[in-house]
A and B are shown apart, each in its own frame.
Chain A
Amino acid sequence: MVYIKELKIRTGRDSCDIITSQVDRAIKESGILSGVAVVESGDESVGILKIAGCTPEVVEDIRKEMRRLVPARINFTNQDSPENTAGRIKSCFYGSSVSLIVKNGKLLCDEKQDICFTDYDGPQDRTFSVCVYGE
């Protein structure tokens, strides 16, 4: 069985929104007890991350490190805005989808990790999808 749900999110500047509860809800709605959930966004310059111990301090450190590794530069070949180009690169580097194990109708990682939607060029109206397959 396959269940797909599309969700919308209004992000902030350099935002990192925890979407674990939305993913949990989608799994519950699917009725699938064992299988895999894939969370993915097709938008440019966004990321879907799995973060352990997702406190504001941890998020801030991740954000800073991402910026240090991929700063917005004015000499990108692409002539869109530097934030946008840097965001696309971060999206490639850090990924914009995660695959998660579903066990007993719940995320296996639920208690230790959070699923986060990061926007590297926000605020914007974004979308992401949850696809649950299994039985």
Chain B
Amino acid sequence: MDRKDYENSLVRQARDLKKYVNIVYESVLPQIRQLPVKEIFDAQKIFITGCGDSWMAGVAAKACFEAVTKIETYAPKAVEFSRILNNKNLGYSPNTPLVILISYSGTAARVIECAKRCARYGANTIAITNNPSSPLAENCRYTINVGLPADGEYQPGATTYNASMLTLFLIALRIGRIRNRITPLEYEDMNRELLAFVERCAEKNEEYETRAFEIAQKWKDLKAEDFIGDYADYATAFFGSAKVIEVFGGYTTYDDSEDWCHINYFLKEPEKIGRVVILNKETPSFGRVKETIEAIKVLGSPCIIVSDAQKEEFPETMEVFTVPSAGYFWMHPLTQHIPFDMVAGYIGALKGIKAFRENEEKYHGEIGNNRLKSGTQIVIV
């Protein structure tokens, strides 16, 4: 069996991550330098919002914002922000909060609704999108165009997830520098390390692909995939879970380590559920996640661990992808999804299933195709 016969878009995107990180970095850095100092300085609170992978890019970047800007940062889903968030959080001081809204197409209805609500209350808004003339861009004060080439493969989203996350990281660094929360040396070092870290990860692609294909053959007939991750790793857990659904329509769930012990632990037929644990060794709950791994061992579930910790830290029976360590812990979500992207991509190809069920009419009728972009937009006052 030759893995080259089972390639698909997600595998290729995971492999090409470095290339696109460099493209986005070059594109967004000059734009971020143009963000006005005064308005950024005014921000007393930051919200990052979006839908699906875009929302999760915000969850992944929250740790970076907190570490680098020292400003309270929240990453609610778009519908929570637009319909549920209390008004008292919006516009209580000039240019505050700073709200960063993410949509690759710039047409996601709920994200546009968030932008309109921000405008109503005088919050500062930055759109992250690949379409600077989109409705989202038109409804935000500032737009960062991630600058992905028009001819790229972006479905299921992995490149776009990374583009959003990298842009968020760079915005955080700019805020940190403007507010003098990080020194010029730290700023330069963080910028350098972002690209160097991605480079180190890309060097492991061949190894990842070989192992991912082997695992995919063993995992393709499992009943479900169950993801576990805490703090920034939670974003990677969600992201992996989303790829299971998007690529091959599998049953999946995701949770943090603590709740997993309370709930998902009890899923029936554990030996038929693949468990994927994302564990950055600087995660504050590292010990708790290791206890969770011991529980998985007792259940007898097949398990993949993606971690920068030594392989010897984990049970021998588990498949450990040892990923490079980043100079700053918050950089990990940028690359730690790559191993499972490859596994998911190969499972989809081995099952012969098209991503997003593109050959099945019921998923792609008029309502199905427009479910994200249409729908009534309202502004809650």
Contacts and interface: CB of A to CB of B under 8 A. Distances in A.
Contact of B38 (A13, A75, A125): A75
B183 A81 contact: no
Contacts of B38: 74-75
Contact of A125 (B33, B34, B35, B185): B185
Residues of B contacting A: mostly: helix
Nearest to B33: A79
B249 to A, nearest CB: 48
B177 interface: yes
B184 A121 contact: yes
A123 B183 CA distance: 6
Contacts of A122: 183-185
A20 interface: no
Q: Sort chain A's interface into a size bin.
A: 10 to 19
Nearest to B42: A74
B41 A82 contact: yes
A124 B186 CA distance: 9
B178 A123 contact: no
Contacts of A129: none
A123 B180 contact: no
B317 to A, nearest CB: 48
Interface string B143-186: 00000000000000000000000000000000001101001110
A81 B181 CA distance: 11
Given A81-B178, A82-B180, A83-B180, A76 B185 contact: no
B37 interface: yes
B375 interface: no
Nearest to B35: A79
Interface residues of B, number: 14
A70 interface: no
A84 interface: yes
A79 B183 contact: no
Contact of B184 (A72, A76, A123): A123
Contacts of A121: 184
Interface in A64-85: 72, 74-76, 79-84
B184 A82 contact: no
A36 B256 CA distance: 68
Contacts of B352: none
B363 to A, nearest CB: 47
B34 A74 contact: no
Contacts of B177: 81
A13 B182 CA distance: 10
Contact of B37 (A13, A79, A123, A124): A79
Interface in B27-62: 33-38, 41-42
A131 B37 CA distance: 39
A7 to B, nearest CB: 18
B34 A124 contact: no
Interface centre among A74, A121, A122 (most CB of B within 10 A): A74
Nearest to A12: B183
Interface string B174-202: 00011010011100000000000000000
Contacts of B36: 79
Contacts of B183: 13, 122-124
A123 B185 contact: yes
Contacts of A125: 185
Nearest to A125: B185
B185 A82 contact: no
Given A81-B180, A82-B178, A82-B180, A74 B185 contact: no
B247 to A, nearest CB: 43
Interface string A79-102: 111111000000000000000000
Nearest to B38: A74
Given A123-B185, A125-B185, A76 B180 contact: no
7 contacts: A74-B41, A79-B34, A79-B36, A80-B33, A81-B178, A82-B178, A123-B185
Q: Report, nearest first, the 3 A-B pairs whose CB atoms are least far apart.
A: A74-B41, A74-B38, A81-B177
Interface of B: 33-38, 41-42, 177-178, 180, 183-185
